[in-house]
Structure 1
Amino acid sequence: MKREFIMALKTNRKVALSLEDKRKGAYERVGSLKLKPGAVLEVHLEQVKFPLFVLKQVFTNEDGSTGVLYLASSDPTLDHERMTTIYHRRWKVEEYHKSLKSNASLAKSPTKTTRTQSNHIFCSIHAFVKLERMRIATKLNHFALRSRLCVKAVQAAFQELQRLQLADDEPMRA
């Protein structure tokens, strides 16, 4: 069973525009390719034995700057739209795993038994769902939310510490 893939390419990866160019060693950087919007180009990647199909996706970042993403696929049947759709779906899964590991502390489980590990996994997924609901409500990403939550927790702890110190400073009553 043959498996196909889609992956992002860095702009400095070297490709040949034909098999003949590859044999001659005539490579050029992916970032220098003149790709038209919506076009998929067959290329030969250096150190890869089979042809790949590359597209250029231009998008606007949240800060208004322009970003460029080069995608490569081993599947010759994919057009520009289908390849970008599949990649974006995969990217959502990557975001989920990264947030689950980094923000919901899935990887930091000190547990040893099956039951406690199951509880930790459940609590991590529950924390992710809560973060996701907060992300939708506040329009902030998980990392920004986590940062805000940590700041609020430190502020609350500091206020409680000050309250306890004030209670210690009061004279004792007989």
Structure 2
Amino acid sequence: MEGFGPLRVFKAVSRGGDVEYWATNDLAMDDLGRQALGERCWAVEEYHRALKQCCNVERCQARAARARRNHIGMAIRAFARLSWSFHATGAGWYETKAAVVHHAVRAYRNRPLHRIPTIA
């Protein structure tokens, strides 16, 4: 690449026929190193997907910066607990989240903290 220096380019073809190109300035990298780096990249992608979809990190409606930071921190903490449960039980993230929500709803229905007064 002009202005960047020498590159090494890898072509990866998936089983489905999708073609992906990887470029690196590490000229000593071989295909096994690229695969290991690809697996690490995929783990980061999974982390972000789970943090957004299972822990609702992007759904903060606060305007104050401190409140947003608190929301993000609690979402990361929830993700850590979810991951621990995921690895301990072997169930998927969505199954684990559904089990936690189901348990919380059942506990609240058995012993609610607030009661709505009846009118009539």
Q: Scaled by the length of structure 2, what TM-score is found?
A: 0.69
Match of 1:156 in 2: 107
Match of 1:41 in 2: none
Match of 2:11 in 1: 54
After superposition, residues 1-150 of structure 1 pair within 5 angstroms as 2=4, 53-56=10-13, 71-75=20-24, 77=27, 78-150=29-101
Q: 1:68 to 1:137 in 2, by over 3 A?
A: farther
Asked whether the equivalents of residues 55 and 80 of structure 1 are also in contact (C-alpha less than 8 Å), the reply is no
SS at match of 2:55: coil
For residues 104-158 of structure 1, give each alpha carbon's deviation from its aligned partner in whole angstroms, at most 9, with x where no partner exists.
1111111111221121111111111111111121112222211222233343344
Asked whether the equivalents of residues 100 and 106 of structure 1 are also in contact (C-alpha less than 8 Å), the reply is yes
C-alpha displacement at 1:70, in angstroms?
5.2
Task: Give the number of the structure whose residues are more often helix, by fraction.
Answer: 2
The share of aligned pairs that are identical, in percent, is: 23
Q: 1:150 to 1:2 in 2, by over 3 A?
A: farther
SS at match of 2:97: helix
Number of equivalent positions = 109
Task: Give the number of the structure whose residues are more often strand, by fraction.
Answer: 1
Q: Which structure 2 residue ranges, 5 or more long, are not aligned?
A: none
Q: Scaled by the length of structure 1, what TM-score is found?
A: 0.50
Q: 1:79 to 1:121 in 2, by over 3 A?
A: same
**Which has the larger Rg?**
1
| CA distance in 1 between partners of 2:89 and 2:58 (Å) | 26
Q: Which structure 1 residue ranges, 5 or more long, are not aligned?
A: 4-51, 59-66, 169-174
| CA distance in 1 between partners of 2:67 and 2:111 (Å) | 31
